[in-house]
Amino acid sequence: MRNLLLQLFLAAIVGYATARYAVQSTPPPTTPALPPLPPAQQPATPPTTKVPPPATAANAAGAALSVSFRSAVERAAPSVFTVHSARTVSRGPLGLGGTALLAEGLGSGVLIDADGDVVTNNHVVEGANELEVALPDGSVRKTRLVGVDPYSDLALLKIDANGLRPIQLGDLSQVAVGDVVLAIGNPLAVGQTVTQGIISALGRKGLDINPIENFIQTDAAINPGNSGGALVDTSGRLIGINSAILSRGGGSEGIGFAIPVDLMQKVVASLKKNGRVARGFLGVSTMEPQNGQSGALVAALEPRGPADRAGVKPGDVIVGFNGSKIDNPEDVAAATLELEPGTKVTLDVLRRGDRQDIQVTLGTRPPPQQLQRR
């Protein structure tokens, strides 16, 4: 009996083990694989698109700072030279002892045409008896002084222009305050240098720098040696001849002045034709009227001068000149200097409260030194 129970127990164990092994070894049901999609039906990966950063003031400023004026410099710089001037005297009898150097100066000049005409400032060459023009590569060209105009502070030199490229002239009517400009010259004798700024003002007058003032004002750095150099626009076109600065210490403080290209062209035309510029002469000495009145008070007259002969009297207040309003004495001087001798002008004058027109024929203005002696 015990043997029978033992056999039944062993049989149960064997059956349980067999059934468990069968469950573990049975593979799970498989799902048939789907055929691949044809190429045209494959899902496409969306392309990645570079999204630009949003427009901000910082982005705009960065773009502006990255602008290069290389092309303007490449066009204009080859036409801007260095002008060396010297004043010498002979030593010994008949100059047998050689020469002694009394003074020397350095400025800049601009080749304006293929004829070899180089424009610079009068104060660059004033009093000099020896002149040289040095090109950007350091070579020197023989130089001749054609003429000077102290009233506009311009001078015209002549060189051999063979192999040289004149600068392109700009149109001042297309120039406005805020335009970017470049000043090219040889400041402090360091070599050709380009500085950048904007036009700060146009038609600047009343500075007591030149008898004729109609300056382009700029904050481009201008220093001694820049005088006579080029002020150009961002296309490399000449819009002015750098002439002067206002400075407490003698260096650039961001207030520089250039003679506009249209005035330069008029002066050059006269210098090429006559070697000088004949300017009108009214023959009056004027001052500011009293009580804040606008106009030019006639303080004195040149005896038998144009205004004296026409009937202008001391104490008259000139308030108009050929139909243009006169605000101050500088306006009378500037209007007269821009006209040629023999020009007939109409003065609008206040005399003891009465207004009248006086016709004057301009004379020929004497040289500056003769006026100063008077």
Helix (H) or strand (E) holding 119: strand 117-121
Q: Please give the residue that has the higher pLDDT: either 293 or 67.
A: 293
Is residue 52 situated within a structural domain?
Answer: no
Whether residue 9 has pLDDT greater than 70: no
Is residue 59 situated within a structural domain?
Answer: no
CA dist 125 and 143 (Å) reads 12
Query: What's the number of CA atoms in the CB half-sphere (13 Å) around residue 374?
Result: 14
Indicate the burial class of 10 (C-beta count within 10 angstroms; 0-12, 13-18, 19 or more): exposed
Whether residue 249 has pLDDT greater than 90: no
Q: Please answer whether residues 307 and 316 qualify as being in contact, where contact means their C-beta atoms are separated by less than 8 angstroms.
A: no
Same domain (yes/no): 196, 119: no
Number of domains in the chain: 3
Query: What's the number of CA atoms in the CB half-sphere (13 Å) around residue 320?
Result: 14
Same domain (yes/no): 83, 154: yes
Strands (E) across 205-330 are located at 215-218, 230-232, 238-245, 256-260, 280-281, 284-287, 296-301, 317-321, 324-325
Taken in order 227, 229, 233, 237, is the CA torsion positive or negative?
positive
CA dist 312 and 302 (Å) reads 11
CA dist 320 and 326 (Å) reads 5
pLDDT band with cut points at 50, 70 and 90 for residue 365: confident
Indicate the burial class of 186 (C-beta count within 10 angstroms; 0-12, 13-18, 19 or more): buried
Q: Please answer whether residues 175 and 202 qualify as being in contact, where contact means their C-beta atoms are separated by less than 8 angstroms.
A: yes
Q: Please give the residue that has the higher pLDDT: either 40 or 97.
A: 97
pLDDT band with cut points at 50, 70 and 90 for residue 33: very low
Same domain (yes/no): 183, 256: yes
Is residue 329 situated within a structural domain?
Answer: yes
State the pLDDT at residue 374: 30
Mean pLDDT, rounded, for 180-192: 94
Same domain (yes/no): 188, 147: no
State the pLDDT at residue 41: 46
Same domain (yes/no): 288, 368: yes
Question: Is position 153 annotated as part of the catalytic site?
Answer: yes
Average model confidence (pLDDT) for the chain?
A: 83
Whether residue 340 has pLDDT greater than 50: yes
Q: Please answer whether residues 122 and 82 qualify as being in contact, where contact means their C-beta atoms are separated by less than 8 angstroms.
A: no
Q: Where residue 106 sits, what CATH number does that domain have?
A: 2.40.10.10
Question: Is position 227 annotated as part of the catalytic site?
Answer: yes
Q: DSSP assignment, residue 367? A: P
Q: Which residues contact 29 (CB under 8 A, 6 or more apart)?
A: none
Same domain (yes/no): 135, 198: no
State the pLDDT at residue 56: 60
Catalytic residue among 123, 152, 219, 252: 123
Same domain (yes/no): 125, 179: no
Q: Which domain holds residue 79?
A: 73-158
Within 10 angstroms of residue 65's Cβ, the number of other Cβ atoms is 7
Mean pLDDT, rounded, for 269-298: 91
Is residue 231 situated within a structural domain?
Answer: yes
Same domain (yes/no): 152, 183: no
Entry pTM? 0.73
State the pLDDT at residue 212: 84
Distances (CA, A) of 369 to 132, 339, 374: 26, 20, 9
Domain end position, chosen among 118, 136, 158? 158
Query: Looking at the chain, how many residues does it have?
Result: 374
Whether residue 257 has pLDDT greater than 60: yes
Q: Which two tokens stand for residue 373?
A: 């002696």
Is residue 33 situated within a structural domain?
Answer: no
Is residue 293 situated within a structural domain?
Answer: yes
Q: 79 — alpha (psi -120 to 50), left (phi > 0) or beta? A: alpha
Q: What are the tens digits of pLDDT across the range 211-229?
A: 888 899 999 999 999 999 9
β-sheet bridge partners, residue 239: none
Whether residue 37 has pLDDT greater than 50: no
Same domain (yes/no): 151, 207: no
CA dist 188 and 221 (Å) reads 12
Whether residue 178 has pLDDT greater than 70: yes
Closest by CA position to 264, among listed 243, 234, 245: 243
Q: What are the tens digits of pLDDT across the range 107-138?
A: 999 999 999 999 999 999 998 989 999 999 99
pLDDT band with cut points at 50, 70 and 90 for residue 11: low
Which of 158-162, 232-236, 252-256, 329-333 shows the lowest mean pLDDT across its residues? 252-256
Is residue 290 situated within a structural domain?
Answer: yes
Catalytic residue among 79, 108, 117, 153: 153
> Reading across the β-sheet that carries 80-90, which strands appear in turn?
140-142, 130-134, 80-90, 99-111, 117-121, 154-158, 144-149
Closest by CA position to 319, among listed 343, 344, 354: 354
Is residue 11 situated within a structural domain?
Answer: no
Domain end position, chosen among 234, 261, 288? 261
Same domain (yes/no): 285, 366: yes
State the pLDDT at residue 88: 86
CA dist 110 and 121 (Å) reads 10
Whether residue 40 has pLDDT greater than 60: no
Same domain (yes/no): 154, 178: no
Mean pLDDT, rounded, for 228-256: 89
Same domain (yes/no): 153, 186: no
Q: Please answer whether residues 79 and 167 qualify as being in contact, where contact means their C-beta atoms are separated by less than 8 angstroms.
A: yes
Q: Please give the residue that has the higher pLDDT: either 291 or 50.
A: 291
